[in-house]
């Protein structure tokens, strides 16, 4: 089991997190408009939050929920294996990871938001 001490927003990843926040993908920027400012059932989400050595797209601390958006770069065996290990690590720490393809966010936003809301503990 990974150590839970000091795993959030480690200083060595600060510049990378800031860079990712300043250069969101179109899908991340679109979904962020629906998650920010507690718009989704009053839950606070952070974007580009690091846990351990991984930077996750969106993180809701109160739900221990991580949302990842996957583009074309994730559609190869190496990236799929990396994502699998990353998800296993985060699951071991007690986080739930939801993954959506970028296209889903644009084409089926209502379904994406419903799946996120359905994962909340007090639905």
| Overall average pLDDT of the 80-100 stretch | 96
Q: What is the DSSP secondary-structure string of 81-110?
A: HHHHHHHHHHHHTT-EEEEEEHHHHHH-HH
Is 6 domain-assigned? no
- Which residues form the domain of 113? 11-118
Question: In total, how many domains does the chain have?
Answer: 1
Q: Of the candidates 74, 72, 68, which has an alpha carbon nearest to the alpha carbon of residue 115?
A: 68
Is 41 domain-assigned? yes
Q: Which residues contact 79 (CB under 8 A, 6 or more apart)?
A: 73
Is 65 domain-assigned? yes
Residue-wise pLDDT tens digits, 25-66: 999 999 999 999 999 999 999 999 999 999 999 999 999 999
Taking 60 as the threshold, does the pLDDT of residue 108 lie above it? yes
Q: With H, G, I as helix, E, B as strand and everything else as coil, classify residue 121.
A: coil
The CATH number of the domain holding residue 58 is: 3.40.960.10
Is 85 domain-assigned? yes
Is 24 domain-assigned? yes
């Amino acid at each position: 089991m990974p150590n839970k001490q000091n795993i959030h927003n480690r200083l060595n990843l600060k510049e990378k997190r800031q860079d990712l926040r300043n250069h969101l993908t179109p899908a991340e920027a679109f979904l962020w408009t629906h998650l920010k400012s507690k718009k989704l059932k009053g839950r606070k989400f952070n974007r580009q939050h690091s846990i351990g050595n991984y930077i996750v797209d969106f993180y809701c601390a109160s739900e221990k929920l991580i949302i990842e958006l996957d583009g074309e770069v994730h559609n190869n065996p190496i990236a799929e294996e990396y994502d699998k290990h990353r998800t296993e690590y985060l699951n071991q720490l007690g986080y739930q990871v939801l993954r959506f393809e970028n296209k889903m966010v644009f084409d089926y936003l209502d379904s994406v938001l419903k799946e996120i809301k359905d994962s909340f503990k007090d639905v």
